[in-house]
Amino acid sequence: MPRQGPVLLTVEDDPAVSRAIARDLRRRYGSDHRVVRSETGAGALEVLRELTLRGEATALILADYRMPGMNGIDFLEQAMDVVPQAKRVLLTAYADTQAAIRAVNDIDLDHYLVKPWDPPEEHLYPVLDELLDTWARDSRPGFEGVTLLGHQWASETQDLKEFLTSNQVPYRHLRGPEGAALQGTAAIPDESLPAVIMPDGVVLTCPPLREVAERLGLATTAGSPLYDLVVIGSGPAGLGAAVYGASEGLRTLLVDRAGVGGQAARSSLIENYLGFPQGVSGAELAQRARDQAVRFDVEMLTAAAAVDVVAQGEGRVVRFDDGHEVTAHAVVIATGVWWSRLPAEGADDYAGRGIYYGASAHEAPGCKGEDVFIVGAANSAGQAALHFAQYANRVVMLVRGPDLRLRMSEYLVGRIEADSRIEVRTCTEVTAAHGDGRLESITVTDTRDAGTESLPATRLFVFIGAEPPTSWLSPEFARNERGFLLTGPALLDADGRPPREWPLARTPYHLESSVPGVFVAGDVRAESVKRVASAVGEGAMAVTLVHRYLEAT
């Protein structure tokens, strides 16, 4: 039989039910997938091994829970060792749903479906469509993306890796000038690295992010001079505002200097986000939100930095670093925060050369067999520690306070304490970094007795503090002492009156800045709740207030 794309494998011991499942799958996916049936778990494992040996990709496995010899949960757990990227779905009767829910956590099950599912258009296909879309994004059986040539310990290489990752661009990293030979490209001199090789063979040496974006077909300049709404920042708050604004009929422009997702996109697994019982990676959540924004015709700009927002009459002018500008009826600022710099001697010398601020999930495989150090004690640090522990020889968390529970959710603390690969050192801070061109060791100090210790370290990931990127805004925008933007009630004096500079008779709306018509959502706002769910909620709430503002003007 000729190959018809990735395999969809069904495992069901009842022949009649097995044929019905296969029929439903072929009706929807038969044109670009191959449906394979098996009636036992043991037989299905042999099928998977044979498919893998032949080089065929398995995209999805659907296994019945109640099967003789090997039940569906046991089979799916063993199948993960053979085809770890395949999406796994358990088929259950209503009476078995509790077992299926437990399997979501115990074996990282992707989904469970209760039989029967008629009509499949409502109860089967939407679930499988989403799983197959995710599999297609994450699986790269034949590489057709960008090749990045660059030294592992160069900060410029790291910047390009982060840019490509945040924009969901498939790439591979070949290290050093010798990587050019592997790519079949003429040798590139050391001073011309990093270099980006496009799928069409074009080589960009030491390229600015804007040039890479343009070569990739990403928009860097607005297509219109006028919009109903401009959203600056594409983290959860910005994406939430863009999706809700466009879905409610506002012509919306979304602007970001790097790529979608913000800091949340670097989270390896967000486990307490509503509606995702098995958790969701930050990158996947960002991609889903981006897909929604595209569906609602949000226009997106990448590698475009806003440098000013100015009120001109009823319009709000957003100016960019390349000199162009757009006018909007309203603006939402959702630029999030940056991780604070590590206050250790020599730390700035190794930024991107062993010291990294935050950590994308793609960094973890490169740490296989190494010791990884993480500075921080909030949820982001905990999520990173658990993710790196799957690859690294050891993960050491350096925590300034006396207890992880002071700032981290209990579900993360419990998992960290139960993981033998993670060591937590409390009352410890990094006071110096050392190395020759790259990080090689760190000095840590015990805050209780001021004793110091030198530790060999090549990778240190920092998750401390939060600094709002608001210096580009004019003094008209009121901030608190840390630079976070003040909004709504925070702008009022003790008698509930707005500042003298406020030009309107009404008081500012809840998320409205000191410049009318410019709203603030997410972490960059003073006194915001630093959680993904609250950021999305503020983005949606900002759009509600934008409508109120537009109706009143």
CA distance 553 to 517: 10
Label residue 180 by pLDDT band (50, 70, 90). Answer: very low
Q: What pLDDT, on the 0 to 100 scale, is given for residue 186?
A: 54
Q: Over pLDDT 70: what percentage of the chain?
A: 95
Q: What fold characterizes domain 7-138? A: Rossmann fold (3.40.50)
| DSSP secondary structure, 99-128, as one string | HHHHHHHHS---EEEESP--SHHHHTHHHH
Mean pLDDT of 59-66: 93
Task: Write b or e for each residue in 178-195: b if 16 or more Cβ atoms lie within 10 A of its Cβ, otherwise e.
Answer: ebbeebebeebeeeebbb
pLDDT bin (cut points 50, 70, 90) of residue 88 is very high
| Per-residue DSSP letter, 498 | P
Is the predicted pLDDT of residue 346 greater than 50, yes or no?
yes
pLDDT of 61 > 70? The answer is yes
Does residue 106 surpass a pLDDT of 70? no
Three-class SS of residue 259?
coil
Q: Find, among 111, 116, 124, the residue nearest to 26 by Cα.
A: 124
Extended beta strands in 123-224, E state? 146-150, 171-175, 195-197, 203-205
Beta bridge partners of 312: 315
Q: Are strands 171-175 and 518-520 parallel, antiparallel or unpaired?
A: unpaired
Local confidence band at 481 (pLDDT 50, 70, 90 cut-offs): very high
- Helix 236-247 vs helix 282-295: angle between axes, to the nearest 10 degrees? 20
The answer to whether residues 438 and 153 touch, using CB atoms and an 8 Å cutoff, is: yes
Select the more confidently predicted residue: 445 or 102.
Answer: 445
List CB contacts of 491: < 8 A, sequence separation 6 or more: 478, 498, 499, 502, 508, 514
Q: Is 365 exposed, middle or buried (0-12, 13-18, 19+ CB in 10 A)?
A: exposed
Give residue 24's pLDDT band: very low, low, confident or very high (50, 70, 90): very high
Question: Average pLDDT of 36-48?
Answer: 93
Identical topology for domains 7-138 and 146-215: no
C-alpha 172 chain-centroid distance: 18
pLDDT, tens digit (0-9, with 9 covering 90-100), for 308-320: 999 999 999 999 9
| Topology adopted by domain 226-338+467-552 | FAD/NAD(P)-binding domain (3.50.50)
Whether residue 178 has pLDDT greater than 80 = no
How big is the chain, counted in residues? Answer: 553
Reported as a single tens digit per residue, the pLDDT across 70-84 is: 888 889 988 888 888
pLDDT for position 502:
94
Q: Which tokens belong to 420?
A: 């033998």
pTM of the model: 0.77
- Looking only at the bridges linking them, the beta strands covering 203-205 and 195-197 are antiparallel
Q: How far apart are CA 347 and CA 356, in angstroms?
A: 10
CATH for 146-215 (3.40.50.150, 3.50.80.10, 3.40.30.10, 1.20.1090.10): 3.40.30.10
CA dist 406 → 72, 280, 388 (Å): 41, 24, 22
What mean pLDDT is reported for the chain? Answer: 89
The pLDDT score that the predictor gives to residue 177 is 47
* Three-state secondary structure call for residue 239: helix
Region for residue 5 given its phi and psi (left: phi exceeds 0; alpha: psi -120 to 50; beta: otherwise)? left
Lowest mean pLDDT among 7-16, 94-103, 194-203, 330-339: 94-103
**How confident is the model at residue 140, as a pLDDT?**
53
Q: Is 47 helix (H, G, I), strand (E, B) or coil?
A: helix
Q: Following DSSP, what letter does each residue of 76-93 receive, concatenated?
A: HHHHHHH-TTSEEEEEE-
Least confident of 159-163, 398-402, 484-488, 511-515: 159-163
Fold of 347-462: FAD/NAD(P)-binding domain (3.50.50)
Question: Is the CB of residue 97 less than 8 Å from the CB of residue 114?
Answer: yes
Q: What does the block give as tokens for 477?
A: 């925008």
Domain boundaries of the chain, sorted by first residue: 7-138, 146-215, 226-338+467-552, 347-462
Its sign, for the CA torsion 364, 367, 370, 373, is: negative
pLDDT bracket for residue 322 (50, 70, 90): very high
- When pLDDT is averaged across residues 411-430 and rounded to a whole number, the result is 95
